[in-house]
Structure 1
Amino acid sequence: MPQCQMSKEYALDIGHIDGRGIARPSAVIDFMQDLATRHAGEMGLSEKVMENNGFWVLSRLKYRLNRPLHSYETVRLTTWPRQIKGASWYRDFTFEAEDGVIGSAVTMWAIVNAETHRLLRPKALGISFEDQIVGEPEMLKAIHAEHLQPCFDRVVRYSDIDVNHHLNNVKAVDILSDAFGLEDDETRWVSQMQVNYLSETTCGTTLTLARGTGADDALCVAALDGERENVQAEVVFSEL
């Protein structure tokens, strides 16, 4: 494993699970985001970002799980910063439970100036480290959805907003998940999911959720503000 890493255990409680007693996709992403934030702080990176009037932005993520996470189960996440690619910061994860390693994930982050909203390159802020590449690392690409068809509208409200007064990353995944159709087919669960955060979404915005297809006929869901896709996901299901 890499030299610079951090691990933490997370217990799935009643607020993380769906009606079948397994973790919602948003719970998985909540754990990933929390651990990444904690590790960046421990590394002293968050302080450097704040000194330069910047803030972290999660731009893309992808996870794969071999099996669902169950209610009141404890899962151990480990994360490490993989490498800096231009303005993008890649961070990798593993998931472990009592039965061993059950999944992996990758996230891509950027640093944005709080006033201008321009990207800040990490190396320009004095942030650098040796690459920590394990196995065959995945690069997160754009999601190309075809034949998007509107499903329903959803207004972004108070409980959806983060400290930057934008749609919270985890809440965005809950909103996208409502378009997966899992309430009509409880035999499936989300074993793989990629999310791309494309544009900021503010309180009061009416999002149109739409479904389409992506690579290898995977399900694609997008949340649109007018004709602009603000956040999108590509999902692979497995049978329970």
Structure 2
Amino acid sequence: MKKVWEESFKIASYHLDFQQELKPSVLQQYFQEAAGNHAESLGAGYDILMERELFWALSRIRVEIDRMPKWGETIRIETWPVGLERLFFRRDFRMYDEQDNEIVRGASGWLLVNAKTMRPQRLAALGVELPDNAGRFALEGTLPDRISLETPEPVFRKVIRYDEIDMNMHVNNTRYLDWVTDCFDREHYEQNALSAFSLEFLSEVRWGNEMEMQIDRNGTEAKVQAVETASAKALFKADVEWRKRD
């Protein structure tokens, strides 16, 4: 049993933004790929859980960024389960560059969900022993709190189409970061670099849903949410933080 999983990724051109830096959504894809591979090796991967009508659902995540890797770099991710926080299965990760400098770190909270009832399950339902990494945190403290917006303003609307639907027939949560980062213009990116983000996932987003992206700005921080236009229900929320570029 590997207590800590390591996996490397080479930054390809199609993973970059216009500044030749890794897109935040791809950063999250790397982390989830490594997390999924570790779960598979522990006997708690996608196929095994689906046979028992269970699946993992990411509920919230916090990521802090010293710098984004650039085109051609090879990065290494370490990820490990930490333990339980209420119903959340916590999993942390760190990202290193080729000189073994830590450049990104994060903490995530996952729910083990029954595929029929869609209700969260406790540890006993997993039926697998998880490695003991108690006290080994990439980020100190508990998982991020709920996110609230005070004076949200509309940015854009969109309807979910083919390109955003994954193999589970809903939108993969990594795509939410694309919509969050679409709320800022080119000038903003030329002047600022993303330093941290938190995401809170509230409801599935499916093919044909129409939603409105809304933003609440406060200096170097902004809070963003997606609201289903038909029901006015919040689908997910984000808290993004920026620092001035050199």
Distance (Å, rounded) in 2 between the aligned partners of 1:127 and 1:140: 26
Choose the corresponding residue for 1:234, options 226, 239, 242.
239
Q: Do residues 133 (structure 1) and 111 (structure 2) align?
A: no
Change (3 A) 1:217 1:18: closer
Change (3 A) 1:39 1:137: farther
Distance (Å, rounded) in 2 between the aligned partners of 1:225 and 1:117: 20
How far has the Cα of 1:194 moved from its partner? 0.7
Aligned to 2:13: 14
Would the aligned equivalents of 1:49 and 1:111 in 2 still touch at CA under 8 Å?
no
Aligned to 1:72: 72
For residues 153-232 of structure 1, the aligned pairs below 5 Å read 153-181=157-185, 183-185=186-188, 186-213=190-217, 218-226=221-229, 227-232=232-237
How far has the Cα of 1:176 moved from its partner? 1.6
- Give the SS at the match of 2:94: strand
Distance (Å, rounded) in 1 between the aligned partners of 2:75 and 2:244: 21
- Give the SS at the match of 1:22: coil
How far has the Cα of 1:124 moved from its partner? 2.9
Q: TM-score, normalised by structure 1?
A: 0.91
Would the aligned equivalents of 1:146 and 1:213 in 2 still touch at CA under 8 Å?
no
Would the aligned equivalents of 2:211 and 2:226 in 1 still touch at CA under 8 Å?
yes
How far has the Cα of 1:62 moved from its partner? 1.2
**Structure 1 residue identity aligned to 2:66:** N
Q: Do residues 120 (structure 1) and 121 (structure 2) align?
A: yes
Distance (Å, rounded) in 1 between the aligned partners of 2:126 and 2:35: 19
Aligned to 2:90: 90
- Give the SS at the match of 2:58: strand
Distance (Å, rounded) in 2 between the aligned partners of 1:217 and 1:173: 18
How far has the Cα of 1:213 moved from its partner? 4.1
Q: Do residues 60 (structure 1) and 52 (structure 2) align?
A: no
Encode CA deviations 1:77-131: one digit per residue, 9 max, x unaligned: 1001000234210001111113411121111111212122111222233244434
Distance (Å, rounded) in 1 between the aligned partners of 2:98 and 2:144: 29
What percentage of aligned pairs have identical amino acids? 28
Distance (Å, rounded) in 2 between the aligned partners of 1:48 and 1:164: 15
How big is the alpha-carbon RMSD for the aligned residues of Structure 1 and Structure 2?
2.0
Give unmatched runs, 5+ long, in structure 1.
none
Q: TM-score, normalised by structure 2?
A: 0.89
Distance (Å, rounded) in 1 between the aligned partners of 2:167 and 2:135: 32
**Structure 1 residue identity aligned to 2:239:** E
Aligned to 1:27: 26
Paired residues, number: 237
Give unmatched runs, 5+ long, in structure 2.
none
Encode CA deviations 1:160-216: one digit per residue, 9 max, x unaligned: 0111111111112111210133x13212121101111110011011110000147x8
Distance (Å, rounded) in 1 between the aligned partners of 2:167 and 2:122: 23
- Give the SS at the match of 1:15: helix
**Structure 2 residue identity aligned to 1:27:** V
